[in-house]
């Protein structure tokens, strides 16, 4: 296993798990993981008790967060095991070791499995001073952002720190939410873009942009078709994270000598801002049309 000078900003959930699993599968190990644990419930926003001792409170918040943010992957695997089988079979021609990645998403291993150095911090949001301090004190300034919220401008002003992000759509044409769905509807095919983040919304310098083959997920003939929510959730629990994690792992694999310097200077190019359209979450009726194309 090759240790690389990368810090993973790990916000618990399918996205962080897919990135870590995919890197592990290609023999790459981040030097450091910052595990972000919310001091409130991720769904209800209700704050957790402050009277608990610090270590106990952190462990309590960590467990609740994991149960909440990995709820859908585990539920779907339990209720629709044949659905994840359909997903695996459809994607196997395009992605190596896909079964291992999907397993790692729904069966989370300790973060120490993926990095020798793991720092766990309790935050209220990305604006929390604890996160600012952690990022300011990094030994390795290349940071992989795995989601969880909008990064405030001040985090981009920390000297020397630069962030990688992957968007599930072709940039600059499709920015914003539900990128995977808008790509299929607008461009006729999924897409993925890896870039250096800046303070804008999906506007940083592009490292790699790809259009992807449109997968067809064939459902068993003897079952009742799951509702659109389940189909939507299966894509964003497994397919969307896989698409992002795979391109990032492939980019790093192509760097012959991964160092702090090379991670800061991967060839990239400016986006043409005039070509970009920012999309919002897709209306359920449009979403249903996309799902009809993907699940047969």
What pLDDT score was predicted for residue 84? 85
pLDDT in tens, 170-194: 999 999 999 999 999 999 999 999 9
Q: At 13, is the pLDDT very low, low, confident or very high (cuts 50, 70, 90)?
A: very high
Tokens for 268? 């990239």
> CA–CA separation, 212 vs 241, rounded Å?
14
Helix (H, G, I), strand (E, B) or coil at 66: helix
Average pLDDT for residues 217-243, to the nearest whole number? 93
CATH number, span 2-294 = 3.40.50.170
Helix (H, G, I), strand (E, B) or coil at 265: coil
Helix (H, G, I), strand (E, B) or coil at 104: helix
Average pLDDT for residues 156-173, to the nearest whole number? 96
> CA–CA separation, 50 vs 53, rounded Å?
8
Domains of the chain, residue spans: 2-294
* Residue 123 pLDDT exceeds 80: yes
Interior angle at CA 175, CA 131 and CA 286, nearest 5:
120
What pLDDT score was predicted for residue 97? 86
> CA–CA separation, 196 vs 145, rounded Å?
10
Asked whether the beta carbons of 153 and 175 are under 8 A apart, the reply is no
pTM of the predicted model as reported, rounded to 2 decimal places: 0.96
What are the phi and psi torsion angles at 76 (to 5°)? -65, -40
Sign of CA dihedral 208, 214, 216, 217: positive
Peptide bond into 172 cis (omega under 30): yes
Q: What are 193's strand-pairing partners?
A: 167, 209
Asked whether the beta carbons of 196 and 204 are under 8 A apart, the reply is yes
DSSP tag of 52 = S
Sign of CA dihedral 220, 222, 228, 230: negative
* Residue 273 pLDDT exceeds 80: no
DSSP tag of 214 = P
Q: At 275, is the pLDDT very low, low, confident or very high (cuts 50, 70, 90)?
A: confident
């Amino acid at each position: 296993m090759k240790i690389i000078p990368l810090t993973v900003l790990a916000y618990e959930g399918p996205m962080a798990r897919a990135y870590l699993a995919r890197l592990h599968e290609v023999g790459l190990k981040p030097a450091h993981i910052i595990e972000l644990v919310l001091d409130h419930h991720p769904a209800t926003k209700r704050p957790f008790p402050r009277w608990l001792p610090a270590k106990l409170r952190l462990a309590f918040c960590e467990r609740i967060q994991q149960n909440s943010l990995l709820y859908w992957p585990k539920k779907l695997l339990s209720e629709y095991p044949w659905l994840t089988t359909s997903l695996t079979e459809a994607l196997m021609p395009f992605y190596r070791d896909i079964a291992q990645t999907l397993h790692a998403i729904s069966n989370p291993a300790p973060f120490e499995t993926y990095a020798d150095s793991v720092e766990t911090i309790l935050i209220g949001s990305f604006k929390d001073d604890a996160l600012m301090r952690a990022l300011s004190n990094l030994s390795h300034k290349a940071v992989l952002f795995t989601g969880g919220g909008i990064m405030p401008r001040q985090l981009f002003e920390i000297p020397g720190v630069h962030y990688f992000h992957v968007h599930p759509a072709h940039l600059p044409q499709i920015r914003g939410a539900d990128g995977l769905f808008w790509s299929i509807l607008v461009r006729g095919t999924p897409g993925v873009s890896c870039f250096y983040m800046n303070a804008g919304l999906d506007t940083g310098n592009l490292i790699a942009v790809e259009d992807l083959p449109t997968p067809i997920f064939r459902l068993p003939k003897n079952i009742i078709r799951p509702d659109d929510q389940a189909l939507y959730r299966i894509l964003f629990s497994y397919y969307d994270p896989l698409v992002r994690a795979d391109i990032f792992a492939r980019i790093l694999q192509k760097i012959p000598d991964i160092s702090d310097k090379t991670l800061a200077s991967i060839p990239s190019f400016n986006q043409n801002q005039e070509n970009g359209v920012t999309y919002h979450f897709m209306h359920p009726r449009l979403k249903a049309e996309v799902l009809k194309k993907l699940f047969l």
